[in-house]
Amino acid sequence: MGDHPEVDRTLERLVRQLREAAGSNLLGTALYGGLAKGRYTPGVSDINVLIVVSDASLPGLLPLAPVLTAALRETHVVPFVATPADLMAAAVLFPVKVLDIQLWHRLLWGDVHVAGIAVQPEALRLRSLQELKNMELRMRLRVVERAGEADALWRGLVRNLPKLAVTLEVLLRARGVEVPGDDRSCVLRQAAQQLGIAPERMDRIACLRRIEKRPDDEAVHHLLADYLDLLAEICHRLESEVG
């Protein structure tokens, strides 16, 4: 990957340890998520790794546990452990995640068994709508649980945006729209245009990042109000397609 040599070394070490621990049970490993797309902030972003095994029963998982526990604690490696059969089922249950992995992954070792999985467009639209609606409902819950406290609302907002970008990016690519994987702001703006939403509404939140200093309380409330309105509008547009 070049830009993050320390991450390359972490991944090389992880693959070596997994192969030693799992033996023939390990079928393949791949990097996915923001780092695979070039969207990565050291010390903040997770390192998402798909780990495909032939046996995911307890006896198959226990040899992996010490390696993955240490990797999670020390280097923010978040593992997704699955069998090939799990991935086939996930294409129906979690089509956004599976298609995102198919479109943007870097093979680290072996075969991760995602190439031949078909994600159905209708399942993708429905699951995308479910995820977006869940984001909206969770943000509402954060407002009432935290008494409108600006720090908590800001953290919820900036942590929500990467998931929004992933969901909309997958929808765009499923429609044949080319989007740059390394530019979240561009993804969100293109999604607004595709959904018939004024791009300036997306611009207000597209560039927000966790590493930035939070705005004052009033600005946070205005941003969150805009974001909730935007999520509601996106859901409304997708509901008309699903319906």
Strand, helix or coil at 180? coil
Has domain 121-242 been given CATH number 3.40.50? no
- Distance, in Å, from the CA atom of 173 to the CA atom of 180, rounded to the nearest integer, reads 10
* Prediction pTM value: 0.79
Residue 241 has a pLDDT of 75
What average pLDDT score do residues 36-60 get?
90
Please check the confidence at residue 59 and state whether its pLDDT lies above 80: yes
What average pLDDT score do residues 33-41 get?
85
Kindly give, in sequence order, each residue whose CB lies less than 8 Å from that of residue 149, ignoring residues fewer than 6 positions away: none
What average pLDDT score do residues 204-227 get?
86
What's the farthest any 2 CA atoms get from each other in the chain?
56
pLDDT grade for 2, boundaries at 50, 70 and 90: low
What average pLDDT score do residues 213-231 get?
92
Residue 187 has a pLDDT of 86
Domain boundaries, the chain: 5-110, 121-242
Strand-pair category, 26-32 with 105-110 = antiparallel
Q: Please name the residue that has the structure tokens 């969770």.
A: 138
Average predicted confidence (pLDDT) for the chain: 90
The token duo for 91 is 């294409």
Has domain 5-110 been given CATH number 1.10.580.10? no
Strand, helix or coil at 109? strand
